[in-house]
Amino acid sequence: MPRFYTSAVHAGRQDFRELCVHAPPLDLSTTYPVDDLATGTASFDALVAGEAEAGNPIYARLHNPTVARTERAIAELEGTDACVAFGSGMAALTAVLMERRQHGGHVLVVRPLYGTSDHLLASGLCGLEAEFVEAGDIGARLRADTTLVVIETPANPTLALVDIAAVVAAAGDVPVLVDSTFATPVLQNPASLGATYVLHSATKFLGGHGDVIAGVVCCDDDHARPLRTVRAATGALLHPLAAYLLHRGLPTLALRVERAQANAGEVARRLERHPAVAAVHYPGLGNVRNAHLVGSQMRGAGALIAFEMKEGKAAAAAVMRGVRIITPAVSLGSVDSLIQHPAGLTHRVVDAAAQDANGITPGLLRLSVGIEHVEDLWEDLAQALDAAADTGGVTELRARA
């Protein structure tokens, strides 16, 4: 088996010599000619039943060759039999929830996790009862109708870690879904620890350039087939152009993650020393829940940092206003650094009590560190922090709020 750097470059490209191409083909067809009705009918039945491929793609909602190629590449990097790609990370999660609804009505969820994932689960829109529990209580809260356990590690936005193997053991026969977006396959492979589903918002690190919206679920073939059936029925297939861009970004994934992670470690250490900062949450500092899992479950601490401003929300807003190189925007995992305010943006849809209980404070900022030069990043962040610490500026912002 090739090492990760090699797999990232060559995954999904094994037939290039046969095709006599050097770049991934892009198939934008919406429909495919059916010369033989018997073959077409058999292909239709196979794809609707969730098979990965058939003699004829029939229609792009059922199958697209460019998407399938990207899926094969990501499955190889994640170490799973299959990968099923969707139009967004939320579409991917929704498909899993819809499929699991056929097997039971109860889901156990460990907070914190991405705000919209939290909202979807809490809302009951997929017909499931979500019970939010601590990871250590999963075994005791299982019911006969428990159909799924959902965790995110590292957690969004606090970077707390969850012991995947321990959760899998506690869940027993109940499938476990791990949102591994923050870690990427570079740093963590949940399936190797027993997770049934590995979810990525591929919009983030896998795409890596801020120009793709996508979601993927990596799993074994038996669990992939019903997900493809849901995808075909709901029209949630990833667009082939997005799949093409996603595949194009994979060869540099390890390089991007490792450079961003190195930058994040240095920025986190400097943030700890800044007088305007009350607390820094970064697995590499050993100050998040289960930080000991770095080096075992995770092969590195990642490129995300959460930090709290001493002056609260007003100071956090001032930092977002003050940065010049770092972009004040939601999302993460891009080549450029992004900073955002979880309580006011990504996690605004989460119940206020749940925000408080899970450390999503008014002064918390989440920084996705990119691949820029670390000194330029720090100079930009430091000047914004210094400005936010200015009493007059903070007072003025607070008065406007």
* Residues belonging to the active site: 61, 114, 179, 204
CA distance 288 to 302: 13
- Helix residue spans in 33-145 (DSSP H): 37-48, 65-78, 89-100, 115-123, 138-141
Largest CA distance in the chain: 76
Task: Output phi, psi for 330, to 5 deg.
Answer: -75, 175
CA distance 396 to 119: 33
Query: Are 274 and 315 spatial neighbours (Cβ–Cβ below 8 Å)?
Result: no
Query: Are 348 and 115 spatial neighbours (Cβ–Cβ below 8 Å)?
Result: yes
Positive or negative torsion for Cα 379, 380, 383, 388: negative
Placement of tokens 């591994």 in the chain? 180
CA distance 10 to 32: 28
**What DSSP assignment string belongs to 171-206?**
HTTS-EEEE-TTTHHHH--GGGGT-SEEEEETTTTT
CA distance 130 to 108: 6
Kindly tell me the burial class for residue 114, based on how many C-beta atoms sit within 10 Å of its own C-beta (0-12, 13-18, 19 or more): buried
CA distance 233 to 102: 15
Query: Are 122 and 351 spatial neighbours (Cβ–Cβ below 8 Å)?
Result: yes
